[in-house]
Amino acid sequence: MKKFWIKLISHILYFHDKTKRAEFRSRYNESSVYIRKMRKKGLSIGFGTYLSAGVEIRSKRTVIGKYCSIARGVTIGTGRHPLDALTTNSMAHRECYTETGPIGIKPEHRVSFEQSLPVKIGSDVWIGLNAVIMDGVTVGNGAVIGTNAVVTKDVPPYAIVVGIPAKVLRYRFDSDTIARLEKLRWFDRDLEFIQNLPMGDIAQCLQILESTASEN
């Protein structure tokens, strides 16, 4: 329904201007609105990234790079509990409440513990449906995280990981190509330049990026 109204309003406002209609729909689609909301809360989300419905990001210190594709139901950061204290309950490190009031563990008897750690996601990362990325994980540029995967440790650049816990299935490119991509960081180039890259020809893209690297 929201899509219908956005499309209808764009036609009313910009009936004779197809470009402005597209810009309006892009600005007010669900992903764009959610990203602006998250940025207002302090999250760093790069240009060109989209978040589908139901994405949950726990830590405001989480960083997401440019041109990422994050599918529905993804959870980024889940929160932690102390494993070495008497209890894993949050009362071990902060005040907690029951239906009758505060539990009341004395501050001097609580443990020092950080319940939420930021996640760092590079650029050009694709995260599949309902994937979970645990606290403190770093996901490298160009990585792919499969549907329903649970990522418990860092993901190398351009790796494809699947499963519970997530493991490397394979890499998108050979090691030499990955090294070149990491050095060239195509996603940091200006949009006009990116618009003219032949997306389906990685060899030609690398050649163009390398020949123009000094201009960047």
Catalytic center residues: 93
Cβ 209 vs Cβ 186: under 8 Å: yes
Q: Which residue has the tokens 């209808």?
A: 8
The helix/strand/coil state of 15 is coil
CA dihedral angle for residue 197, residue 202, residue 207, residue 211, rounded to 10 degrees: 40
Classify burial at 70, counting beta carbons within 10 Å of its beta carbon; exposed 0-12, middle 13-18, buried 19 or more.
buried
Cα 210 to Cα 207: distance, rounded to the nearest angstrom: 5
For residue 45, how far is the Cα from the chain centroid?
7
Cβ 159 vs Cβ 166: under 8 Å: no
Residues 6+ apart with CB under 8 A from 91: 103, 105
